[in-house]
């Protein structure tokens, strides 16, 4: 794969950040206001009778990536006639008003005889971070025993070519640990010139079975993230995982099996006044979105108006997990 690009100039020093905070500059725009979420609906023909989950919507809304072990996925190595590996698939459409086309496997450069899933894209669309069960012999930081989930990164020259991904690289054993890392979310804070990678991990040191961490991009290489820290206000003794942020970084959605939910896993949300502030106490998205089954793997459209997620509630067709969506409208004016 190409050497990672030097990230854009304009890195803000910590002293500069403090000065910006003290002076109130840059002035943050009022956050967008939205209506409540609509009743969730199945994505219909995008789903299969296999396990479809982990959706990620592209910035232009014309490509929907997700994981599936449907026919056409890579066989395990050694082959197992009863199972196929989880591969990354993509459904495309010509416009936001058009239906999704038939999903297509993104190919062997990314997908292999292990499991690959849960993508996140850089805002410029040229980089993808994803989860893989590749073994330590392939560069993984895991130690086996089912905990070889690591974060990997790939580049493409054409941001509209969903099959042009180059050979991936492991994000390294600072971001990754001997345990499991998954659910990545890439956030560029334009106000302060900083880039962050949110993700979940079951590494030692957190309060729960899975916890949400964040790493800041450092140095000159694209995708070079520093040591992670716990996002303490979001984590509990339960499993808190798969975070996704609104484009301004002031709203987050994630999955959790904490008390107070309707099912075994629910979708929750949290907000903050600015990207320098802590997150608020998470709130359950409620019965129009969540069900008594597991609802997980959220992804948010660039305009913040559509939330895609995976659910085990059943749909049409019924699969072990299907992709669903809920929408909300932008509310104009001040309260």
- For the segment 136-140, the average pLDDT, to the nearest whole number, is 89
Euclidean distance between CA atoms 217 and 246, whole angstroms: 18
pLDDT of residue 300: 98
Give percent of the chain above pLDDT 70: 88
Euclidean distance between CA atoms 61 and 213, whole angstroms: 27
Q: 3-class SS at 249?
A: coil
pLDDT of residue 11: 36
Tokens of 63: 């490509």
pLDDT of residue 146: 56
Mean of the per-residue pLDDT values of the chain? 89
Euclidean distance between CA atoms 282 and 261, whole angstroms: 11
pLDDT band at residue 127 under the 50/70/90 scheme? very high
pLDDT band at residue 132 under the 50/70/90 scheme? very high
Element (H, E) at 16: helix 14-23
Give percent of the chain above pLDDT 90: 79
CB-CB contact of 167 with 1 (8 Å): yes
pLDDT of residue 13: 40
Query: How do beta strands 127-132 and 150-155 pair?
Result: antiparallel
Q: Taking the CA atoms of the chain, what radius of gyration do you get in angstroms?
A: 19
Q: 3-class SS at 23?
A: helix
Quick one: CA dihedral 304, 310, 313, 317, positive or negative? positive
- Write 67-72 long-range contacts (CB < 8 A, 24+): 67/115, 67/116, 67/117, 67/118, 68/103, 70/103, 72/105
- For the segment 136-164, the average pLDDT, to the nearest whole number, is 88
pLDDT of residue 26: 44
Euclidean distance between CA atoms 181 and 244, whole angstroms: 15
Which of the two residues, 71 and 7, has the higher pLDDT score? 71
pLDDT of residue 104: 98
Site of tokens 């197992």: 80
CATH superfamily of 31-331: Glycosyl hydrolase domain; family 43 (2.115.10.20)
Q: Indicate the pTM of the whole model.
A: 0.89
DSSP string, 127-175: EEEEEE---GGGT----STT---EEEEEE-SSTT-TT-PPPPEE--TTT
Site of tokens 């309707």: 262
Site of tokens 């916890």: 211
315, pLDDT greater than 70: no
CB-CB contact of 206 with 292 (8 Å): no
CA 261 to chain centre: 21
pLDDT tens figures, 180-231: 999 999 999 999 999 999 999 999 999 999 999 999 999 888 889 999 999 9
pLDDT tens figures, 9-52: 333 343 343 333 333 444 456 788 999 999 999 999 999 999 99
CB-CB contact of 238 with 258 (8 Å): yes
């Amino acid at each position: 794969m190409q050497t990672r690009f030097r990230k854009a100039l304009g890195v803000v020093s910590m002293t500069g950040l403090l000065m910006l905070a003290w002076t109130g500059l840059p002035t943050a725009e009022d956050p967008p206001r939205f209506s409540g979420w609509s009743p969730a609906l199945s994505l219909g023909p995008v789903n299969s009778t296999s396990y479809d989950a982990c959706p990620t919507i592209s910035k232009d809304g014309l490509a929907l990536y997700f994981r599936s072990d449907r026919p056409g996925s890579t066989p395990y190595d050694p082959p197992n006639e009863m199972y196929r590996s989880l591969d990354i698939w993509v459904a495309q459409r010509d416009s936001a008003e058009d239906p999704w086309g038939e999903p297509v496997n993104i190919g062997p450069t990314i997908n292999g005889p292990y499991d690959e899933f849960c993508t996140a894209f850089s805002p410029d669309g040229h980089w993808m971070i994803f989860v893989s069960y590749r073994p330590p012999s392939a560069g993984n930081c895991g130690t086996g025993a089912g905990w070889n989930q690591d974060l990997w990164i790939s580049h493409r020259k054409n941001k509209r070519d969903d099959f042009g991904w180059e050979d991936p690289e492991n994000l390294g054993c600072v971001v990754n640990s001997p345990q499991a890392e998954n659910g990545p979310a890439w956030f560029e804070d334009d106000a302060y010139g900083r880039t962050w990678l949110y993700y979940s991990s079951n590494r030692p040191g957190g309060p729960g079975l899975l916890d949400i961490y964040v790493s800041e991009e450092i140095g000159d290489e694209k995708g070079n993230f520093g040591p992670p820290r716990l996002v303490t206000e979001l984590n509990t003794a339960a499993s808190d995982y798969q975070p996704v942020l609104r484009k301004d970084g002031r709203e987050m959605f994630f999955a959790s099996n904490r008390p107070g939910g309707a099912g075994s896993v629910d979708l929750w949300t949290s907000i903050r006044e600015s990207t320098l502030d802590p997150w608020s106490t998470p709130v359950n998205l409620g019965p129009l979105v969540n069900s008594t089954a597991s609802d997980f793997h959220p992804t948010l459209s660039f305009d913040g108006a559509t939330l895609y997620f995976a659910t085990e509630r059943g749909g049409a067709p019924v699969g072990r997990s299907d992709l669903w969506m809920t929408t909300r409208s932008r509310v104009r004016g001040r309260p």
